Amino acid sequence: MDEHEKAAKAMRQVEAMTGFYIHLVVFVFVMVALFLVNLLASPDVWWVQWPLLGWGLGVLLHGLAVFGEVPRFIANWQLRKAKELKDKM
């Protein structure tokens, strides 16, 4: 891998990390807002845990994918797909 490829790969990783952090911040703000809405509108019925669990799982999987803990079969598929798209260009 030459320096240009290393720089391009590093830039893609930084972009992926930035996307994850934006996702995480939006998740936190929306969850706080939903918690307040739940608390003020219907304090006797707690429904806020459902979007927290669903979206939280999405954030967790996004983080695992970005920071390299994605299962090998997904990483292998991504590499094959990137090569396929590159070959079509």
Q: What was the pLDDT predicted at 5?
A: 87
The tens digit of pLDDT for each residue in 50-59 reads 999 999 999 9
Read off the pTM. Answer: 0.73
Can you list the alpha helix ranges (DSSP code H) found in 2-89? 3-41, 49-66, 72-88
Both structure tokens of 79: 């590499």
- Average pLDDT estimate for 77-84: 85
Most confident option among 33-42, 59-68, 71-80: 33-42
- Tell me the angle at which helices 3-41 and 49-66 cross, rounded to the nearest 10 degrees: 170
The tens digit of pLDDT for each residue in 10-25 reads 899 899 999 999 999 9
Q: Give the other-Cβ count within 10 Å of 44's Cβ.
A: 4
Instruction: Tell whether the model's pLDDT for residue 60 goes beyond 80.
Output: yes
Q: What was the pLDDT predicted at 19?
A: 95
Instruction: Tell whether the model's pLDDT for residue 72 goes beyond 80.
Output: no
Q: What was the pLDDT predicted at 83?
A: 87
